[in-house]
Amino acid sequence: MTIDERKAVLEDELYILRDSGEIPEIAYHSTLFFLTQDPEGPTLVLTDNELELLQDAVITRYQEIVLRDITPENRDLTLYRGVRRTLHNWQRMEAFCVRNNRDNTAFKEQVRHAFLRFIKREVAEIEAENRKSSLNCSWKMIAKFAGVLGLDTAQFPDNWQEHCLGDKTS
């Protein structure tokens, strides 16, 4: 395989990873198998740089879907999955980063700001009776996620818990 052919195969797989849907890590493992072990694939021995490029594509996709569901403008779109999905995708992304020794600190800061903006806008619009709540998880889940991000729920609007699913009092 020539260098140009190798580059083209990797670019195709990077494109697949970037548009891989809800769980990009599954696409990542499929890509690794295809590139390195599949008898019908190119059976490459990937360099560290090539592995890093593939992992970057997975992380970028995770970042997109984490932010998607804490972007207020997306709440009425069919692609919106809610805060609960953000929490799950955050956990998946963090686990992927840990397993692959990747630092995600800068993105955590971005999510912290986006999540705080989301909660503030969500509560303001609910209380102005402009919309129904899209906080599709318990206040405990939201508080736990806020803690992971380094947010204090005291920064949230008063009575934000009232707009969450489940028990509002404990």
Q: How far apart are CA 163 and CA 36, in angstroms?
A: 49
Place of tokens 């397993």: 99
Q: Is residue 168 part of a domain?
A: no
Q: Is residue 146 part of a domain?
A: yes
Residue 155 above 70 pLDDT? yes
| pLDDT bucket at 168, cuts 50 / 70 / 90 | low
**CA–centroid distance for 74 within its chain:** 14
Q: Is residue 37 part of a domain?
A: yes
CB 157 within 8 A of CB 119: yes
Q: How far apart are CA 107 and CA 81, in angstroms?
A: 20
Domain hosting residue 18, numbered range: 3-163
90-145 tens-digit pLDDT: 999 999 999 999 999 999 999 999 999 999 999 999 999 888 999 999 999 999 99
The pTM of the full predicted model, rounded to 2 decimals, is 0.88
CB 164 within 8 A of CB 126: no
Q: Is residue 169 part of a domain?
A: no
Over residues 9-30, the mean pLDDT reads 84
Q: How far apart are CA 73 and CA 135, in angstroms?
A: 14
Place of tokens 């503030």: 120
What three-state secondary structure class fits 138? strand
Place of tokens 């991000």: 149
Q: How far apart are CA 4 and CA 26, in angstroms?
A: 27
Q: Is residue 170 part of a domain?
A: no
Q: How far apart are CA 95 and CA 120, in angstroms?
A: 28
Q: Is residue 83 part of a domain?
A: yes
In 153-164, which positions are buried (b, 16+ CB within 10 angstroms) versus exposed (e)? beebeeebbebb
Tokens matching residue 61: 């996709």
Q: Is residue 13 part of a domain?
A: yes
Residue 167 above 70 pLDDT? no
103-117 tens-digit pLDDT: 999 999 999 999 999
